[in-house]
A = this chain, B = another copy of it.
Amino acid sequence: MRIDSATRDQLQEWEKELSTHYQRICQHELSLDITRGKPAADQLHQSDGLDGILNGDYRAADGTDTRNYGGRNGGGLEGLLCARELGADILQVPTEEVLAGGNSSLTLMYHAVLTGYLFGFAGNKPWRELQSPKFLCPVPGYDRHFSICEQLGIGMVNVPMTETGPDMDAIEEEIKKDQGIIGIWCVPKFSNPTGVTYSQETVVRLAQLAQIANPGFRIFWDNAYAIHDLEQQINLPGIRAASLENDTADSVLQFASTSKVTHAGAGVAFVSASTANLASLKKQMHAMTIGPDKVNQLRHSRFFAEFTLLKKHMQKHAQILKPKFACVLSQLESAFGDSDLGEWEKPKGGYFVSFNTRPGCATAVVQLAADAGVKLTPAGATFPYGKDPEDRNIRIAPSFPPLEELDTAMSVFILCVKLASVRKKLEIL
């Protein structure tokens, strides 16, 4: 189907056919959901051994009684040493630069933004004292990142994503013209939602930004999918090494968690940063908590006693996820491979497929799908303030539903894309 070269008659005929088809689908009263990047039950099941793994022995290898406040090796606030080692393995950084937190890396990111906003990192001016503090937001991106900025009144500047990461020319230009830019959100591997992994050049240029940016500038490196490869392991160039080479180590804050490794929302989150940044973070967190849940940290350390066990565990996830991604991608390819109806990346890991409709169609697609019983992430959700300027991007999350449901949902999705595209074209003809 090629809309731009179709005649009005052809379009009208398509609209009629597609509408009829759509009406039939609506009568099926489907109730399907591909909105959320949630692991499926069989994925979660792989980690059910966590409960009970301690077998009555709550003492960590370093002697810390995880059942009590405090502990050895930094004790409370940094988290358990063996949990920090796990985080260090995932993020490929030294253990002493890692803090193991509670169940959510989003929470660690929130507190990192709060630290910058209220108190300033490493002796820099608190962002709230700047006239107009702003984050750069590669789009499409992760809505929860944007919500943090929105809540604190931190401005957001859209930057387009490319196949190698965010558009670095645009980023450097923004920073040069506006010293109010004090941060950037990055999901560097299997980016949410595009699935792109940043290239070596992108990582190096990001690491160099602190040389031209406000001294308080920080890169929020949300490595949520660090070990979430579907096939062979994709190598994300290290931002730590690049920042050390460029003498900009203080500009980087890295995050990861086991949320899509073990049980979603019941795992362990990590932040890695320079000594100066960690000191600022700990100062903020000291007023808020005695420390994270060390018992659960110990469970995770025991469950992944060696990094090879973690890698094998992630392969099991991949085996479950692969047919789902294949289903989405093959349906898209056969429906739109030879069309002018949409574009998408082919991610090699992560949790999403990002689909761009023709301009001005995404909202209509989501609405049509909803009316046919297929719930999609709201159009615009992948942009700051929920506003997709071109109304194009839709995030597809294949992980949660069983394969047959996903297959049905994708058929409905494709029909809705076709219908909305034809109607839009007729409208503007």
List A residues at the B interface (Cβ < 8 Å).
36, 38-39, 41, 44, 47-48, 50-56, 58, 65-70, 76, 102-104, 106-107, 110-111, 114, 118-119, 144, 147-148, 150-152, 263-266, 284, 286-296, 299
State A296–B294 Cα separation when bound (angstroms). 12
Residues in B whose Cβ lies below 8 Å from that of A36 = 69-70
| Dominant SS among interface residues on chain A | loop
State A294–B292 Cα separation when bound (angstroms). 15
Interface residue from B106, B284, B295 paired with A51 (Cβ < 8 Å): B295
Q: A44-B58, A51-B55, A69-B264 are in contact. List 10 more A-B contacts (CB 8 A).
A: A38-B68, A48-B56, A51-B52, A66-B266, A67-B263, A103-B293, A118-B152, A144-B287, A144-B290, A265-B292
Task: Report yes or no: A41 in contact with B70, Cβ–Cβ below 8 A.
Answer: no
State A55–B55 Cα separation when bound (angstroms). 12
**Which residue on B lies nearest to A50, using beta carbons?**
B295
Task: Report yes or no: B38 in contact with A69, Cβ–Cβ below 8 A.
Answer: yes
User: Which of A53, A67, A107 is the most central at the interface, judged by chain B CB atoms within 10 Å of its CB?
Assistant: A67
Task: Report yes or no: A288 in contact with B107, Cβ–Cβ below 8 A.
Answer: yes
**Which residue on B lies nearest to A145, using beta carbons?**
B287
Residues in B whose Cβ lies below 8 Å from that of A295 = 50-51, 263, 266
Oligomeric state, in copies: 2
**Which residue on B lies nearest to A41, using beta carbons?**
B65
Residues in B whose Cβ lies below 8 Å from that of A119 = 151
CB distance from A187 to the nearest CB of B (A): 16
Residues in B whose Cβ lies below 8 Å from that of A292 = 103, 265
User: Which of A39, A56, A103 is the most central at the interface, judged by chain B CB atoms within 10 Å of its CB?
Assistant: A103
Given A48-B58, A52-B51, A151-B284, A290 and B106 contact (CB-CB distance below 8 Å): yes
CB distance from A179 to the nearest CB of B (A): 24
CB distance from A73 to the nearest CB of B (A): 16
Task: Report yes or no: A104 in contact with B290, Cβ–Cβ below 8 A.
Answer: yes
State A119–B114 Cα separation when bound (angstroms). 14
State A129–B215 Cα separation when bound (angstroms). 28
State A52–B56 Cα separation when bound (angstroms). 9
Residues in B whose Cβ lies below 8 Å from that of A264 = 67-69
Task: Report yes or no: B265 in contact with A51, Cβ–Cβ below 8 A.
Answer: no
Residues in B whose Cβ lies below 8 Å from that of A51 = 51-56, 58, 295, 299
Task: Report yes or no: A287 in contact with B68, Cβ–Cβ below 8 A.
Answer: no
CB distance from A428 to the nearest CB of B (A): 37
State A266–B300 Cα separation when bound (angstroms). 14
